[in-house]
Amino acid sequence: MAEAKPYQVLWTHTAQQDLSEIINYIAQDSVDEALAIMGKLETKASLLITLPNRGRIVPELLHTGISQYRELVSAPWRIVYRIENRQVLIMAVLDSRRDLQTVLLNRLAR
């Protein structure tokens, strides 16, 4: 049985900015903790190379009829992405303690 061709995981500019802001904020208290979280989030996202449908559809968007966005949770962070052809586009990295419905709708439902 042939293995499925891996997907390419790409970070959008917005998602890269999200990650930078998170890491810079945490680094104010602990550079080591910031680097550990960055590694954890990047590793989690890289898992999407295979089985990109492993993430759940973002519930806040599904309620509004938008179902093309999925997410992986690495508490308290949520990695929001969508799949296009053989690419996984990381769209955002968000703190789940925020009002995500407003943030996501403003960003993704344009």
Domain boundaries, the chain: 8-108
Give the tens place of pLDDT for each residue, 8-41: 999 999 999 999 999 999 999 999 999 999 999 9
Is omega for the bond preceding 76 within 30 degrees of 0, making it cis? yes
Whole-model pTM: value is 0.87
Residue 3 scores a pLDDT above 70 = no
Q: What is the pLDDT of residue 62?
A: 84
* Cβ neighbours for 77, distance < 8 A, ≥ 6 positions apart: 22, 37, 41, 93, 94, 95, 96
For residue 49, give the 3-state DSSP assignment. helix
Tens of pLDDT, residue by residue over 56-84, are: 998 888 888 889 999 999 999 999 999 99
| Tokens coding 28 | 């104010």
Unique residue bearing structure tokens 């949520």: 78
Q: How far apart are CA 101 and CA 64, in angstroms?
A: 10
**Cα 67 to Cα 17: distance, rounded to the nearest angstrom:** 24
Task: Please check whether the domain covering 8-108 is classified as CATH 3.30.2310.20.
Answer: yes
